[in-house]
Chains A and B, each alone.
Chain A
Amino acid sequence: MYRYDEFDATLVAERVAQFRGQVARRLSGALSEDEFKPLRLMNGLYLQLHAYMLRVAIPYGTLSSKQMRRLAHVARKYDKGYGHFTTRQNIQYNWPALVDTPDILDDLADVEMHAIQTSGNCIRNVTSDPYAGATADEIEDPRPYAEMIRQWSTFHPEFSFLPRKFKIAVTASDHDRAAVKVHDIGLRLYPNEAGEAGFEVLVGGGLGRTPYVGHVIRRFLPKEHLLSYLEAILRVYNTQGRRDNLYKARIKILVNSEGADRFADLVEAEWTKIKGRGVDLPAEEAARIRAYFAPPDFEDLSDRSEKLEAARAADEDFARWLRVNTKPHKAPGYAIVNISLKSIGGVPGDISDMQMEAVADLAEAYSFDEIRATHEQNLVLPHVKKDDLHAVWSALGGAGLATANIGLVSDIIACPGLDYCTLANARSIPIAQSIAERFADLGVQEDLGELKIKISGCINACGHHHVGHIGILGVDKKGEEFYQITLGGSGAEDASLGEIAGRGLSSTQVVDAVEKLVGFYRGNRQDGERFLDTYRRLGAGPFKEALYEAA
């Protein structure tokens, strides 16, 4: 993985010093809260319902064991002993004190981490495929490009006061695990007919109150021009994006009001003028960054592990976990291990300091020291030998981290909702917990297959409900918490936005509603169909009927 050199380290240290000064000026009263707000936001510090919240960047979701241990230390020393992984591969702490935040950032800087641009109207921490460098279905590791974007966007002097926040995601696989179609810019690396790799560039995807799937504005961008092309997009957005209305300020509104073709023309015109003028990285620098992501020294193994097969045959719980939580690796004899942060009845994405230590130990012993965070609020050990899977599973079980539910009905994305968030209409976390408890039986869950439930506490859609196979949105009805169901969304390569199913439901009805929908699916699915496939085949009508029948 990438390691800081003196330049990266100096800039992060200088950033902490700068923020220390800003906090001191705020505490002394030299800065008003209004003036301090954009500064703290650019360091990931939010003011929530009960306290400050600090969001720490995990660029493209890649972490070392040492970094994970430091995150555990921060949870222990400055918070209540836990952290919360978000839908953007970051981690949040919900209870830090303002005076401590410069010290937290210092502790993080020691292990090459920071909170830079995890909030504010700037280019946010870039996200990517959590299986990058491990999965057989990628054409190359996308993370070097994500790192190039990280450096280019860090303290970008022209793009630090954009109309709104700006999110970029990169993938290099046909299986989209980075939700590139619902980002401000989505980049998909693929080979053209000549066999050269380049980017398909999508712009204007996003959720929130006006959700859109992104438009392709360039079919093929040669890799070496990535940064100049991004700079052209950002300049068009910075100068022409709306600033008169907070809700119309995202780039998706500009793209859709101009039309994707005209927007593409504007970008192309700007790009022609800046291409070749020093924004793109020199080839030596691109190669230097790429070298950090060279594959680890995989052993030459047979793809079949006798040790694994014996353990699989002996223990059905282990066998299920293998089926559900592990994925094929590109190196023979290795597997990708998903660690669920969705224990039944737990808070989606939450992890204690002890669990973080356990994951760090396992990564060190069994996964070349690497850990990934996923946008579905889980973790990944990307490179585990099949021979070691049983040992890893046992240790995860001991730490309460072996729930076999990746991609299943209880692997729910939920935003913080009314338990933490000032903007919420309704609670999200308790709904997620009740649904998971209703479907507690893991055998039943596995039988139901892939089913993505996503819950947002308000229309800002931090829980991505629009792209849930079943989406749940908290609405306010005369001061009471109500929930609206959407059906048929997807944030993956087959992206689509869910449709509203009908009238709102109370918090008790909503769990029954999910059960009815799932029951209808189970009764009507055809061979191998996922919930989403059955929904797409039959259409919304019968599902709505099932949902509202004699309710």
Chain B
Amino acid sequence: MKLLKLAHGRLLPALEEAQEEVSLEDWRANPQAHAGATALVISNDVPLADVRCDLSGFSVIVLDFPTFKDGRAYSQARLLRERYAYTGEIRARGEVLRDQLSFMARCGFDGFEFAGAAGDAEAALEEFSFAYQPAADGALPVCRRRIAAAEAA
């Protein structure tokens, strides 16, 4: 398992820095005991609307894909970025497959625990030039590009 990180449009292998992980439940039960934790692990059945606490102290939030078919963490990642303005790393863990990477990146993931080849993963992010809908990656949706193109013409 390698850790890949997305930065400035490139997806590259990263050095695995030591993180002290804590689960959301443990941290909530006793924040003092986990004062040194740097990575928060949130399971995918937690409604993020309930997580009304300051997450900015964590440099990583780990979200889970127990199987690739279970897509709840896509919503969690978007909420962390778009509603809770979390700017640290959001890391995908679990069954993280090549053909899901671009969806993950669009939803705000920028760390991936990925078993396949790094070059393959980067190619996966380059398969589509644009997207119809806005998400957490800040990409300009097609409708805005159309308007911009019409204005430029």
Contact = CB atoms under 8 A, between A and B. Distances in A.
Most buried by B among A152, A161, A235, A288: A161
A38 B68 contact: yes
A277 B132 CA distance: 15
Interface stretch (A4-12, A187-195, A390-398): A4-12
Interface string A150-170: 011011111111100000000
A299 interface: no
A10 B99 contact: no
Contacts of B71: 121, 158-162, 238
A352 interface: no
Interface residues of B, number: 38
Interface string B95-115: 001011011101100000000
A288 B132 contact: no
A155 B131 contact: yes
B75 A239 contact: yes
Nearest to B66: A243
A282 B144 contact: yes
Nearest to B124: A18
Contacts of A156: 133
B74 A155 contact: no
B129 interface: yes
Nearest to B146: A285
Interface in B117-132: 127-132
A288 B142 CA distance: 13
A273 B132 CA distance: 21
A158 B74 contact: yes
B78 A7 contact: no
Contacts of A227: 133
Nearest to B70: A243
A22 interface: yes
The CB with the most chain B CB atoms within 10 A, among A11, A39, A157, A284, is that of A157
B72 A239 contact: yes
Contacts of A14: 127-129
Given A38-B69, A158-B135, A161-B70, A284 B147 contact: yes
A157 B74 contact: yes
A288 B103 CA distance: 28
B47 interface: yes
B127 A17 contact: yes
Given A10-B129, A35-B97, A158-B75, A5 B47 contact: no
Contacts of B134: 278-279
Given A35-B97, A285-B143, A157 B106 contact: yes
Contact of A279 (B72, B106, B133): B133
Given A10-B130, A121-B69, A157-B107, A235 B75 contact: yes
A152 B69 contact: no
A287 to B, nearest CB: 11
A44 to B, nearest CB: 16
Contacts of A273: 83
B28 interface: no
Contacts of A243: 70, 72
A539 B147 CA distance: 58
Contact of A152 (B47, B78, B133, B144): B133
B145 interface: yes
Interface in B64-88: 68-72, 74-76, 78, 82-83
A39 B99 contact: yes
B127 A238 contact: no
A214 B128 CA distance: 36
A7 B133 contact: no
B128 A155 contact: yes
Interface of B: 47-48, 68-72, 74-76, 78, 82-83, 97, 99-100, 102-104, 106-107, 127-135, 141-147, 150
Given A160-B71, A227-B133, 5 more contacts: A155-B103, A161-B68, A161-B71, A239-B47, A285-B147
28 contacts: A7-B130, A7-B142, A8-B142, A10-B129, A10-B130, A11-B128, A11-B129, A11-B142, A18-B128, A121-B69, A151-B142, A152-B132, A152-B133, A155-B131, A157-B74, A157-B103, A157-B106, A157-B131, A161-B71, A161-B74, A161-B100, A238-B74, A238-B75, A278-B141, A281-B143, A284-B150, A285-B146, A285-B147
Interface of A: 5, 7-8, 10-11, 14-15, 17-18, 22, 35, 38-39, 121, 151-152, 154-162, 227, 235, 238-240, 243, 273, 277-279, 281-282, 284-285, 288
> Nearest 3 A-B pairs (CB), nearest first?
A161-B71, A157-B106, A285-B143
